[in-house]
Amino acid sequence: MQEDLNKEILLELKKLNQKLDELNKPQGLSKSMKFFALFIGFSVIGPFVAVLLATLFK
């Protein structure tokens, strides 16, 4: 009886640990954040690099 209870508790703890591991996985950026990063890249960083290259190759 006691062994069955211990095995059941152990299985439940393993299930909880698996769920916690799934929750703690690193998540990527959402689709809207990817578009925002792309927009910032083209509108801010792109012209800055273009001006920098233009001044270097003058």
User: Per-residue pLDDT tens for 1-44?
Assistant: 788 889 999 999 999 999 998 888 887 888 899 999 999 989 98
- Quick one: pLDDT at residue 58? 82
- Quick one: pLDDT at residue 50? 92
- Check: pTM over 0.75? Answer yes or no: no
Domain ranges for the chain? 2-56
Q: Which amino acid is at 54?
A: A
- Quick one: pLDDT at residue 55? 94
- Quick one: pLDDT at residue 2? 86
- Quick one: pLDDT at residue 27? 79
Contacts of 29 (CB under 8 A, 6+ apart): 37
Compute the distance between CA of residue 35 and CA of residue 39 in angstroms, rounded to an integer: 6
